[in-house]
Structure 1
Amino acid sequence: MRSTELQAIYVMWLRQMKRFIRSKSRITAMIVQPLFFLVILGLGLRSAILPGMSGDYVTFIAPGIVAMTILFSSIFTGVSVLWDKQFGFLQEVLVAPISRFSIIIGRTLGGATVALIQGFIILFIAVGIGVPTSDAFGLMLTLVFMVLTAFTAVGFGLVLASKMQDFQGFPLIMNLVMMPLLFLSSAFFPVISDRTMKTIAFFNPLFKIRV
């Protein structure tokens, strides 16, 4: 790969990082929302016992909350594409003497990095409030799952945003896709009590959090 292509990837990655750092409201919202679920809902229902659940409730929902944080943050990367299309930056980048592959890779790396940072913040908070950690192999699997989730969701968000023209429609479509994935992932409650539900959930990639 040519040095210009590598530089283009780095510039696109750096732009995503600077956007994230400068957007204080985005940082706050993306961290406070999952923190609300983890601390208030998790600790509030810590003694609750659900069928098919082992351990307390905060331990049960912690992996799902981390996945939710990464998922929403990753797909939110698509908003930057809509923003750049609206103000002409994307057109300027596309006519530059660099490949579109480098542009996509740079944006994907930037979005995934931001999502993983937020995911690790929630993960560290979960450990801080008493969620037990796994062994070295389990931690490695967790890291692999987080990375795969981030890159896959960023890619989906970029594809979705490239097909849309307005800001209003993107959050609606995002929620339409994300909510079924989230609630069929067993993040908040086990789905093993119903065979039909479990069959549907099996095709949900986030369901692999539990299996």
Structure 2
Amino acid sequence: MTTGVTAPGVVRVHVPGRSVRHDLRAIKIVLHREMLRFLNDRTRMVSTLVQPALWLFVLGTGLGTLVSRGPAEGVDFRTFIYPGVIAMTVVTTAMFSAGSIVWDREFGFLREMLVAPVGRASIVIGKCLGGGIVATVQGVIILALAGLVHVPYSPTLILTLLGEMFLASVTITAFGVSIAARMKNMQSFFGIMQMAIMPMIFLSGAMFPLAGLPGWLAFLTKINPLTYAVDPMRHAVFGHLSVSPAAMEALNPGVHWFGWRVSTGVELALVALMGLALLGLAIAQFRRTD
């Protein structure tokens, strides 16, 4: 007599389908994780502020004794480089936020996100928004130092700089994510980051005026995307200062295309368009990530 053995019942696993609600929740979770990672990393918070503080107070004070002559006399050089230091702070922080994708890949967390029933675009958007908010929060600390370099604490100025900082930081985070999506280790990412970010900062007019440059250097500043993020910040700062017309022309000449000064609105629109293009590139790169 053969005794029949009943196979145990098969448990059906239900995987929820993708929906807009799930994608929005994924964006929120990734953004929240970026904020928690930033708040729990005190060393990162302090270290990313050391270099901007050195540029602002050490280099700015030292060079100020040499360059505050002629039309710029009477204007503290630290006041001039203040918008550039803000840009440097948010750019560096945004790139570090983007680089955390490489850490997630090395420790396996990225694979868990990729197999979740949500669109990969939502992961990238959450990452870019989180990086933008983190970089903006870091930039707020530099904003708090405005009075030390003779920049007024005007509510209008602060709100303007906050908006411009957030736009620039989201754009740079998208740029970093598009690079980090294909990187396998942090050494490679940081090498590319230094190769890309440092020339962008130095060629943005963050540390020197855009007026009277040699032709080749003026051309490089005009094709540098970061120039169109730094110039609106400087325009906002100088719009709240009492300086002579000669000093304004020397230190805040703006960006010119064929004799036409590019307006602040056009510059911010260019940064926003670059941000959208880089976000699309980052999503495309992420979809090809294994």
**TM-score relative to the length of structure 2:** 0.67
Q: 1:149 aligns with which of 151, 164, 168?
A: 168
Q: What is the distance in 2 between the residues matched to 1:10 and 1:73?
A: 20
> Deviating runs (4+, > 4 A) in structure 1?
50-54, 134-141
Unaligned runs of 5+ in 1: none
Structure number with larger C-alpha Rg? 2
| Counterpart position of 1:9 | 27
Q: CA deviation at 1:106?
A: 1.1
Whether the 8 Å CA contact 2:135–2:166 is kept in 1: the answer is no
Higher relative contact order (CA closer than 8 Å, sequence separation 6+): 1
Q: Percent identity?
A: 37
Q: 1:21 aligns with which of 22, 30, 39?
A: 39
Q: CA deviation at 1:207?
A: 2.1
Q: 1:109 aligns with which of 129, 134, 153?
A: 129
Q: What is the distance in 2 between the residues matched to 1:27 and 1:90?
A: 23
> Does residue 102 of structure 2 align to residue 82 of structure 1?
yes
Which AA in structure 1 matches 2:135?
Answer: A
Cα RMSD, aligned residues only: 2.1
Label 1:157 to 1:132 Cα distance change in 2 as closer, same or farther (>3 A): same
Q: 1:200 aligns with which of 209, 213, 220?
A: 220
* 3-state SS, counterpart of residue 168 of structure 1: helix
Unaligned runs of 5+ in 2: 1-18, 232-253, 255-290
Aligned residues: 210
Q: CA offsets per residue over residues 180-199 of structure 1, 9 Å max, x none?
A: 11111121123533122111
Of stretches 191-200 and 100-109 in structure 1, the one that deviates more from structure 2 is 191-200
Which AA in structure 2 matches 1:32?
Answer: V
| Counterpart position of 1:44 | 62
Greater fraction of residues in helix:
1
Q: CA deviation at 1:22?
A: 1.2
| Counterpart position of 2:209 | 190
Which AA in structure 2 matches 1:158?
Answer: V
> Does residue 81 of structure 2 align to residue 31 of structure 1?
no
